[in-house]
Amino acid sequence: MSQEETVGPLEESPGYVLKQAHAALRTAMEAALRPLGLTVPQYACLELLGQRPGLSNAELARGAFVTRQSMNLVLRGLQDRGLLTRPEQAPHGRALPTQLTPAGRDQLRAASTAVRAVEQQMLAPLSPADQRRLRDHLAACVAALAPTTPAAED
């Protein structure tokens, strides 16, 4: 009995198809963000700060699915470009809250428009009802694999 007979064709594996979709989405997002001088993690950081100003480095890292060390580099790069501000010091034992600057909000608007166009292209073959079902099914898959205990800090 071959391995394909026991596991099935790779193309039929939901995990494999999800990975293909993720890779295609990431590639398209990178292409859409490149003219704006942004990477996907930088865009994710701007989007998170646009929705929840004042997040810490650790919170931003979790939300952008990168390490805290990687997020620190992202934040430094965005700060050097004048897209966000972080105080030099925070109260003892407190995280440094990060805020978008007006230029950061402008960049976020342009980046969000570019990313939404990519998402619309990806979802174009699906009806609005199928798009909702896809989101619901993916959310259910995430919930099924979510850890039952809080994750430890990086």
DSSP secondary structure string for all residues of 81-149: TTSEE--S--STTPPPP-EE-HHHHHHHHHHHHHHHHHHHHHHTTS-HHHHHHHHHHHHHHHHHHS-SS
- Based on the structure, what is the number of domains in the chain? 1
pLDDT digits (tens, 9 = 90+) for 101-151: 999 999 999 999 999 999 999 999 999 999 999 999 999 999 999 987 655
Q: pTM for this one?
A: 0.83
Q: pLDDT band for position 100 (50/70/90)? A: very high
Domain residues for the domain of 23 are: 12-88+95-145
Question: Which residues, other chains included, contact 112 with Cβ-Cβ below 8 Å and sequence gap of 6+?
Answer: 47, 50
Q: Is the pLDDT of residue 70 over 70?
A: yes
Residue 153 in any domain: the answer is no
Residue 134 in any domain: the answer is yes
Average pLDDT estimate for 55-61:
92
Q: Is the pLDDT of residue 2 over 60?
A: no
